Amino acid sequence: MTTNNKCFGCLKVTDSNESPFIVASSTNTKIALRPQKNGWFGRCSVVFKNHKNNVSNMKRMRIQGDNEFDLLDTELRKVTTIMTKVYCLQYGCKHLNYLEAGNLGDSHRHCHIIPRYDVPIEVGEKKYPDPQYDPKTKKFSALNLADPKLKARMGEDELATVKVHIQYELMKLVHTDEFTRNLMCKHDVKLVDPDQKTLTLLKEINKQFKIKLSVIVNIKD
């Protein structure tokens, strides 16, 4: 694993203390929840495990005949597709905002996924409304990532509840959708610290479709 010890992006995805944030891990990426208490339910970042600079630098690799850009770019977009399908098909989000950036740490490349909802998402006794949707006008406002109310963070228990809920909905999608199932297998997408309910469903999927989806108990790679 190639990291830059001066890069916050590298430290974030390699630090085992960050495991409560990580929903899943693919061959080259990790999917990290943003723990905003009043933010968009399921907002996450797909972050490269290895230190990869921003798009402009990686495109130079392509010009120089290095196909690593194409391989990594494909995986980033396929993992993004998996999460998009979870939010659209399992949670009914109306549209999504994407932001691909290289401003994390020392230009560490990553992609933000921000689902937008016109009704609150209910998880247990909690409701998560879209902070920038007006139910009276039925309109979404433009994203304002600098909104002060987005600074509040979820507690550890709340974050864990949201994480396992998303993991379980992902497994339900994998069970019914062959396209998602194939993407999970091709890019070695593994759940990180799932709960027992999700593990049971994953085992049923492996048995029914004779595949090998697995989990990561911790992330000290």
Tens-digit pLDDT profile for residues 107-136? 667 788 999 999 999 998 899 999 999 999
> Does residue 183 form part of some domain?
yes
Q: DSSP assignment, residue 143?
A: P
Number of helices (H) and strands (E) in the chain: give both, helices first.
Answer: 6, 11
Residue 221 lies in a domain: no
104 domain residue, yes or no: yes
- Is the residue at 2 inside a domain? no
CATH code, domain with 164: 3.30.428.10
Q: Which domain holds residue 181?
A: 8-216
Q: Which residues of the chain have pLDDT under 70?
A: 1-19, 50-69, 101-108, 218-221
Domain contains 3: no
At CA 197, angle to CA 191 and CA 200, rounded to 5? 80
**57 within 8 A of 172, measured Cβ to Cβ:** no
Residue 29: burial class (beta carbons within 10 Å; 0-12, 13-18, 19+):
buried
Q: Which amino acid is at 199?
A: L
Tell me how far apart the alpha carbons of residues 99 and 37 are, in angstroms, rounded to a whole number: 20
- Whether residue 1 is contained in a domain is answered as no
pLDDT of residue 209: 96
Q: Encode 39-73: b = buried (16+ Cβ within 10 Å), e = exposed.
A: bbbbbbbbbbbbbbbbeeebeebeeeeeeebeebb
pLDDT score, position 221: 41
pTM for this entry: 0.86
132 lies in some domain: yes
Residue 190 is assigned to a structural domain of this protein? yes
Give the pLDDT of residue 80.
94
Q: How many domains does the chain have?
A: 1
